[in-house]
Amino acid sequence: MTSQRTDPVVGLPEDGTGDPGTDRARVVEIDRYQVLLDPPRSDLVALVDIAAQVAEVPLATINLITDVAQHQIATKGFDPSVCARADSMCNVVLHDGAPVVVPDASRDPRFADNPFVTGEIGQVRFYASHQLVTPHGVTIGTLCVFDTEAREISDDQERALVELAERVVDLLELELRTRELAVTVTELERARDELQRSNSQLAAFAGQVSHDLRNPLTTVRMALSILAEDPETLHTDPEAGSFLISRAEKGAGRMQALIDDLLAYARIGGRMASKQVDLAAVAADVRDDLAEALGGATLDIGILPVVTGDPVQLRAVLQNLVANAAKFVPAGQPARIRVGASRVRTGWRVEVVDQGLGIAPEDRERVFEPLARAHDDVPGTGIGLATVRRIIDAHAGSIGIEETPGGGTTVWFVLPADTP
């Protein structure tokens, strides 16, 4: 059986056990400082060196005491180590509430049998311990100076050591606050970047809404206009009336989806949706929305894949590319457009091919910039291709322009197989 001798001052058993609540609080405080596993800090080592000089002794250490061990996090005159809390001299007087100065530990009943005194670990004689108390009032360890010879120190030396013990805590707190400040700065930078992204999306929002809503709005307006001109259609030709109403409802639904999607993406923390998107179904919606713009045009839609991404945004991509292909044609000639896809190494390559006016090689990168235009004689805003690139970039894809064999423009984009 292990014998226990209780310190008459604080009531702590000699084997190092203490109050569990106090131990937990101390461990939490020590963990905040993150010094147990790091190499000795130069500022703490310098302070320990000063403490040894002030006391005129060869040995000094900063001890942090957890629930089970004593950690020497900075030392003077010997290498730092870890020992069991039960073997620690400082643990015996950790909660005395006042500095402890012992001229000869071998004659003090609290320490006479301690392995640091008996020779098992060390041969300490002079011993002075000054508690380290955090701003939360938790004692986490000590600043300790000692010698292998018995001696005494003056009152001025003792007061100086008390001041140094307070500076140890100040240094620990300073590093902690610096680390917390760095985390705060990082979080603020992240918030700033997200705010800038959101502001950028909001800036693009007005332009994209006015541009991309135009085509589905035209579909709605056409259907309602026909019904307004002949309201009896609902009674005389229910099938035609139902078709027009359905077309108007679908166009309105697509407009609402576009607005909702753009607002969700533009708000702080917003991200593109990630779901299965059937590009064939998307292309069919685009054909409906562009019914007026495609008047007289030939639109051939090949086999299109199912990809992962944002369905509303990918529809905006196809809608803009097909609308451009229908618009940029020589005067008096109908547009001939083909939409197709092929599997490539990095994912799916989708092409919108026309045989229209074409884009000069030197303009093929510039036209993706906001408000840039390749043909000033054709009405437009220069928003469409900038919107398309932004959406493809958000899907971690790539986009480019090539010349169609025989003349015209081929705009392609690649969506990775594992798009976000």
DSSP structure class, residue 6: B
Q: Which of 138, 154, 182 is the C-terminal boundary of a domain? A: 182
The DSSP bridge pattern shows strands 69-76 and 82-84 to be: antiparallel
203 lies in some domain: no
130 lies in some domain: yes
Mark whether 401 and 280 lie in a shared domain.
yes
340 lies in some domain: yes
Domain residue limits at 55: 20-182
315 lies in some domain: yes
Tokens (6 digits) for 43: 């500022």
* Count of other CB atoms within 10 angstroms of residue 318: 24
Mark whether 149 and 29 lie in a shared domain.
yes
Q: Is 386 exposed, middle or buried (CB count within 10 Å of its CB: 0-12, 13-18, 19+)?
A: buried
Q: Which of 182, 210, 227 is the C-terminal boundary of a domain? A: 182
Q: Which of 121, 156, 182 is the C-terminal boundary of a domain? A: 182
Tell me how many domains the chain contains.
Answer: 2
202 lies in some domain: no
Could you give the dihedral angle defined by the CA atoms of residues 166, 168, 170 and 175, in that order, rounded to the nearest 10 degrees? Answer: -170
Question: Locate tokens 């005389």: which residue?
Answer: 236
Tokens (6 digits) for 352: 């919108």
Report the pLDDT value the prediction gives residue 420, as an integer from 0 to 100.
47
Mark whether 303 and 419 lie in a shared domain.
yes
List the CATH number of the domain containing 173: 3.30.450.40
Q: Measured between alpha carbons, how far is 306 from 317 in angstroms, rounded to an integer? A: 15
Report the pLDDT value the prediction gives residue 185, as an integer from 0 to 100.
86
Report the pLDDT value the prediction gives residue 1, as an integer from 0 to 100.
26
219 lies in some domain: no
Q: Measured between alpha carbons, how far is 350 from 413 in angstroms, rounded to an integer? A: 5
Name the phi and psi angles at 338, rounded to 5: -130, 130
Report the pLDDT value the prediction gives residue 116, as an integer from 0 to 100.
95
pLDDT tens digits in sequence order for the chain, 420 residues long: 223 333 333 334 434 445 778 889 999 999 999 998 888 899 999 999 999 999 999 999 999 999 999 999 999 999 999 999 999 999 999 988 889 999 999 999 999 999 999 999 999 999 999 999 999 999 999 999 999 999 999 999 999 999 999 999 999 999 999 989 888 888 888 878 776 766 665 555 555 555 555 566 666 666 666 666 666 666 666 776 677 676 676 667 666 666 665 665 555 455 567 889 999 999 998 888 787 778 788 899 999 999 999 888 898 899 889 988 888 888 778 889 999 999 998 899 999 999 888 888 888 888 887 655 555 544 444 456 787 888 898 889 999 999 998 888 899 999 987 644
192 lies in some domain: no
DSSP structure class, residue 65: E
